[in-house]
Amino acid sequence: MTQKDEKEIFAWMDHQELDDVGEIELCQEEAADAAAWERIRKRTFSQLGMEIVGEKRLTEAKSRRNPGRRRWIAAVCAILILGTAFISLSPGALAEMQKVLQFIPGFGFVQPSEDSEHIAYVLPKPIDSIGEYGRITVEGVLIEPSVSQISLGGNHASATEVKNLVLMTEQGEYEFKRGSAAWGGNGPWQATYYYEGNIPDNGLGIVSIRFGNTLIGSIPLSKAATAEELEGFGSSDSKNGITVTGILTPLDGGTTKINLLTQLSGRQKVDSYGKSSIAEGLQLKLTDDQGRELELKEEKGFIKPGELLFDDSIGSKYYQVVIPAIRVIDPDAKPVKVTLPVPKEGKKEINVASQIMGFTIDFRSIERVDSESVRVEVDTHFDPEQPRTLQHYRLYGKRGQSAMSYSSELNEVTGAITEWLTVKPGQKEITFYIGEPQFVVKGSWVLSDMR
């Protein structure tokens, strides 16, 4: 019996139209890591038109801005909905939230002084609870006159079956509806619940939450700090037109969290602050007051580009974060149409130039690999020494709307990109669209004296 016999069986089996292969157990091998699952999950939901948002900034309420406090408001009036997939959300509620919520989970809410007659109550820092659905973290609470919000997270995704929760105060019980929710492949989840209406501010010092059959009690809320009170808090630095602010929050259990915030235009979002290297040498560095480098805790569950978690057993007085570069994605950039000639056979130098957001992309050559595929060499002129440089993009099919079947290979050292595209036999041209540019903005942003 030879290897040929085995090949025959593989080939035969590969061509069977199977309805059932029996209830066999397959081998238990090492599963994909959390980062891989996050990528798979992100791609899957993205293909279904469900947006995965790593970090999202909601528009601040301009009427509440005070020019004198602009610097602080600019830094703090951003909402972080960390690693959240917006799967369902009442449009009306979202619009309302966008107007009024200026909320950072686990940190608080900036209360402009002119609105002091409308006191907002917040959760000063996240609290943990164990119950029916495992660990549940109350990540943030914001009680406001018109719309209130509670953000929860945990480690057992079945908790997302809970569609409503009840906030219990001295004044009564208030049912919050689920707005957005996200699940991770290995169990982590986050969800936001909202209440439209007025919750009396008497007796909001200690509240409880009923979540399914779990009671999360003794939740302390405090009045939101005003912008004046926060003046000088946190650390900001501006480079190349972008301000990055770091806000440090001590958590329970000796862990410290730093939220990194930016203000970008439109729907632009920071895809990476360099927690993982963006390109050679472009990785952020966290040090203590003695200049010792601190290691970031490994991320479990959702990837949160703007959140740094670390333990410091020595107890530094202050910390410094140096961010050499950030990578920004712009989903609003208008897709650009590209048409390339397809050779009958072999490789053809084409040098077709295109531009997206002012970045030049040169399609150097195209090679017909076989009757149904071509390989395209692309030069984005990636240069990390430039203030802004294009690193990657996304390809689309017709009119820049539909996803396109292709594979892409980025050389992280040279920045060169190779695209593998599908063509038909005899096809003479190929047309596609380039969108969602991912560009690297050079820093460095130095966030010092963070305490």
Query: Could you list the residues that contact other proteins (CB under 8 A)?
Result: 1, 3, 5-16, 18-29, 31-32, 36-37, 39-41, 43-45, 47-48, 50, 85, 87-88, 157-158, 160-161, 181, 183-187, 369-370, 372-373, 375, 407, 420, 422
The minimum distance between CB 192 and other proteins, in angstroms, equals: 15
Dihedral angle sign, alpha carbons of residues 392, 398, 399, 403: negative
Nearer to other proteins (CB atom), residue 6 or residue 114? 6
The minimum distance between CB 356 and other proteins, in angstroms, equals: 23
Nearer to other proteins (CB atom), residue 292 or residue 424? 424
Nearer to other proteins (CB atom), residue 163 or residue 292? 163
Cα–Cα distance between 103 and 80 in angstroms, integer? 7
Gap between the terminal Cα atoms of the chain: 72
Cα–Cα distance between 234 and 321 in angstroms, integer? 12
The minimum distance between CB 85 and other proteins, in angstroms, equals: 8
Cα–Cα distance between 113 and 99 in angstroms, integer? 17
CA angle 440, 446, 449 (to 5 degrees): 150
- Taking alpha carbons only, the member of 311, 299, 136, 301 closest to residue 214 is 136
Nearer to other proteins (CB atom), residue 88 or residue 431? 88
Nearer to other proteins (CB atom), residue 99 or residue 347? 347
CA angle 427, 428, 429 (to 5 degrees): 100
The minimum distance between CB 240 and other proteins, in angstroms, equals: 31
Nearer to other proteins (CB atom), residue 135 or residue 388? 135
Cα–Cα distance between 116 and 37 in angstroms, integer? 45
CA angle 247, 217, 209 (to 5 degrees): 80
Nearer to other proteins (CB atom), residue 170 or residue 409? 409
Nearer to other proteins (CB atom), residue 26 or residue 413? 26
The minimum distance between CB 41 and other proteins, in angstroms, equals: 7
User: Which residues partner with 406 through β-bridges?
Assistant: 421
The minimum distance between CB 446 and other proteins, in angstroms, equals: 34
Nearer to other proteins (CB atom), residue 44 or residue 113? 44
The minimum distance between CB 244 and other proteins, in angstroms, equals: 30
- For the stretch 13-33, what's the b/e string if a residue is b when 16 or more beta carbons lie within 10 angstroms of its beta carbon? eeeeeeeeeeeeeeeeeeeee
Cα–Cα distance between 90 and 374 in angstroms, integer? 44
Q: Would you say 33 and 40 are in contact if contact means Cβ atoms under 8 Å apart?
A: no
The minimum distance between CB 17 and other proteins, in angstroms, equals: 8
Quote the DSSP letter at residue 62.
G
The minimum distance between CB 48 and other proteins, in angstroms, equals: 7
The minimum distance between CB 295 and other proteins, in angstroms, equals: 25
Q: Measure CA 449 to chain center.
A: 26
Nearer to other proteins (CB atom), residue 108 or residue 188? 188
Q: Would you say 167 and 199 are in contact if contact means Cβ atoms under 8 Å apart?
A: yes
Largest CA distance in the chain: 87
Question: Phi/psi class of residue 281: alpha, beta or left (left: φ > 0; alpha: ψ in -120 to 50)?
Answer: left
